[in-house]
């Protein structure tokens, strides 16, 4: 989604950011290795508290609609 794309002037300096490492959960094998993926989610949640999910199958259009809805919700007057 475009919300996560930063202009070149805002990108981190590669000399100061040395490949930040955070956990990735790959859902590509969820159908064949379900127990392994679930265990990976459990352990990562307990250890890190967050992770990035890849190969989830949700199209960019749906993700963008969700982000637009969240923005709209938080932009409402109180």
Q: Tell whether pTM > 0.85.
A: no
pLDDT of 17 above 60: no
What secondary structure letter does DSSP report for 6?
P
Q: Which of 11-15, 20-24, 64-68, 74-78 has the lowest mean pLDDT?
A: 11-15
User: What is the number of domains present in the chain?
Assistant: 1
Domain that holds residue 62: 2-11+20-74
The number of CA neighbours under 13 Å toward the Cβ of 58 is 10
Q: How confident is the model at residue 10 (pLDDT cuts 50, 70, 90)?
A: confident
- Condensed to tens digits (0 to 9), the pLDDT of residues 27-77 reads 999 999 999 999 999 999 999 999 999 999 999 999 999 999 999 998 888
Sign of CA dihedral 54, 59, 50, 35: negative
């Amino acid at each position: 989604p475009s919300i996560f794309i930063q202009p070149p002037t805002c990108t981190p300096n590669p000399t100061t950011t040395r490949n930040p490492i955070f956990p990735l959960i790959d859902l590509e094998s969820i159908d064949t290795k379900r127990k392994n993926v679930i265990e990976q989610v459990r352990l990562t949640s307990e250890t890190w508290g967050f992770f990035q999910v890849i190969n989830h199958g949700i199209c960019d259009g749906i993700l963008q609609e969700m982000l637009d809805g969240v923005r709209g919700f938080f932009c409402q007057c109180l």
